[in-house]
Structure 1
Amino acid sequence: MFTKLEHVALSVKDIERSIEFYRDVIGFEVKMRLEPDPKLPQEKVVALKGAAPRIAHLYLGGFMLELFQYLSPVGRPIPEDFTQADNGFTHISLTSTDTRADYKYLVEKGVEFLSEPTEFRPGVWICFFKGPDGEIVEVRQT
């Protein structure tokens, strides 16, 4: 029986840039890093011939964000016209104690927002921004 969501994985173009963003700007803690290792069964596990990823496990509030940078095969970027209506996982969400303050902080850091903090329903404030590779991240205060 399943008991919880373990983690979400994000494939990125530049793992160092993404680690810097999620660690230094958002506040995740890097707990593990792996470089491509031919002894690991990556190709078999992810069903990609020649798979050679760099991997980082980042934690925030007990949640793991797993970053992958595939050196081989090289991944395709998120399409410029990607929207939350497109099929597949559309965003990750971060819990905030003050969405408006976090919005202001991230804007000062140059983060691109899709929306300003909005009271979605009484007592629930949300907004969305783009991460380093165009991935969509929600900030949610309840």
Structure 2
Amino acid sequence: MQAQWHHVGISVADLERALHFYRDLLGFEVVWDHPQRGGPEMAKVVGLEDVKAHMVMLKGYGTHIELFDYLSPKGKAVGSGRQCDYGLIHFALTVTGLQELYDRLVAEGVEFNCPPQVLRPGVLATYMKDPEGVTIELVEYSEGA
């Protein structure tokens, strides 16, 4: 069996706000946009009855992100205190020019835990939140790190 990483799925309350963040601020590209997906097969796969969602697949940074705006059933916020809770706590994007990206995103109102920090020689990183409170690590590796 062969397997490889494909995407992260994120449920969002405001699809336009999420698209602005991922597409316009971070530079992800829209691969496809399905305004209303559902049906019995999807209901079985996601484990929800009478499911309908506006779904958008984005690509960038060597990965994909699938945004779900559930039309039925509607989702609820899980809160911002999820960093140490069990389950997915963050995903990371490798970038170049981290300080410049950080400065641009801060100017756009993006919430960061701190400015970029040297974690060890050759590794600069910081955590930020997307509009739904999902933690994203931005990390820059110097040559040889």
Aligned runs of 1:64-83 on 2, under 5 Å? Answer: 64-82=64-82
37-46 vs 102-111, which moves further: 37-46
Aligned mates of 1:9, 1:133 — CA distance in 2: 12
Matched residue count: 141
SS in 2 for 1:35: strand
Give the letter for the 1:96 counterpart. V
Secondary structure of the structure 2 residue equivalent to 1:57: strand
Question: Given residue 7 of structure 1, which amino acid in structure 2 is its aligned partner?
Answer: H
- Measured in 1, the distance between the counterparts of 2:79 and 2:30 equals 28
CA contact (8 A) 2:127 2:135 kept: yes
Aligned to 1:48: 48
Cα deviation, residue 40, structure 1:
6.6
Match of 1:139 in 2: 138
Deviations 1:1-35 (A, max 9, x none): 24311111111111121111100000000010112
Unaligned runs of 5+ in 1: none
How far apart, in 2, do the equivalents of 1:121 and 1:38 lie? 46
The answer to whether residue 96 in structure 2 is matched with residue 108 in structure 1 is no
Moved over 3 A (4+): 37-40
Cα pair distance change 1:70/1:9, threshold 3 Å: same
Aligned to 1:97: 96
Deviations 1:100-132 (A, max 9, x none): 111111111111111220011110110011111
Partner of 2:30: 30
What TM-score, normalized to structure 1? 0.92
Q: 2: CA distance between counterparts of 1:97 and 1:49?
A: 43
**What's the C-alpha RMSD, in Å, of the aligned pairs?**
1.4
| Uncovered stretches (5+) of structure 2, i.e. residues with no partner | none
In structure 2, what is the Cα distance between the partners aligned to 1:29 and 1:77?
26
% identical aligned pairs:
38
Given that 2:38 and 2:53 are in contact with CA atoms closer than 8 Å, whether structure 1 keeps it comes out as no
Partner of 1:127: 126
2:115 counterpart letter in structure 1: E
Q: Is the 8 A contact 2:110 2:128 kept in 1?
A: yes
Question: Residues 46-86 of structure 1, C-alpha deviation per residue, up to 9 Å, x if partnerless?
Answer: 1101111110000003311000011111112131322x211
For structure 1, which segment, 35-44 or 123-132, has the greater mean C-alpha deviation from structure 2 after superposition? 35-44
Task: Give me the whole-angstrom Cα distance separating, in 1, the residues matched to 2:37 and 2:22.
Answer: 24
Q: Which residue of 1 aligns with 2:5?
A: 5
SS at match of 1:10: strand
Normalising by the residue count of structure 2, what TM-score does the alignment of the two structures yield?
A: 0.90
